[in-house]
Amino acid sequence: MKVEEILTAMSNKGLRITEQRKTLAKLFVEHSGYLAPKEVYEHMSKMYPGMSFDTVYRNLRVLHEMDIIEQFMFEEGVKFKLHCHAHDHHHHFICLECENTVPFEFCPMDYVKTVPDGFTPVKHKFDIYGYCDSCRH
């Protein structure tokens, strides 16, 4: 996804394109891993000295509600990344060091044969954590 597409989508919803939102969109487009609100804030306040935390939260929520970014719960708290539109259904490799993610299409649900009596599966979570090439020691 490109910065332009994100801004156009926001514009079409009647939202205003501010400098902060441009910077935020650019940040997510250029960063393939997860970002915590604090990391977003730190990045943004470099270019916007008066940047406030609530603007970060507000805009993260806007992007999340528009399905432009997705939310993920880590042990350390919430993080966000650009939503994957690439494949239909997929899962992720996530680097424990740099948190960059690589999608893959294999889905374990294709191999699950039996579920407990009377249990109705609705959704599932499958992620593989490890170290990517550059972060391996």
Which of residues 50 and 108 has its CB atom nearest to a copy of itself in the complex?
108
Q: For residue 18, state whether it binds DNA (rule: CB under 7 A).
A: yes
Q: How far is the CB of 105 from a copy of itself (least distance, A)?
A: 11
> Is 66 exposed, middle or buried (CB count within 10 Å of its CB: 0-12, 13-18, 19+)?
middle
Residues 5-10: contacts with CB within 8 Å, 24+ apart?
6/63, 6/68, 9/66, 9/68, 10/62, 10/66
Q: How far, in Å, CA of 123 to CA of 119, rounded?
A: 12
Which of residues 53 and 126 has its CB atom nearest to a copy of itself in the complex?
126
Q: 94: helix, coil or strand?
A: strand
Task: Candidates 59, 68, 95, 101: give the one binding DNA (CB under 7 A).
Answer: 59
Task: Candidates 57, 106, 129, 131: give the one binding DNA (CB under 7 A).
Answer: 57
Which of residues 43 and 81 has its CB atom nearest to a copy of itself in the complex?
81
Q: For residue 75, state whether it binds DNA (rule: CB under 7 A).
A: no
> What token pair was written down for 94?
């996530």
Which residue ranges make up the site for DNA (CB under 7 A)?
11, 14-21, 37-38, 48, 50-55, 57-59, 61, 77-78
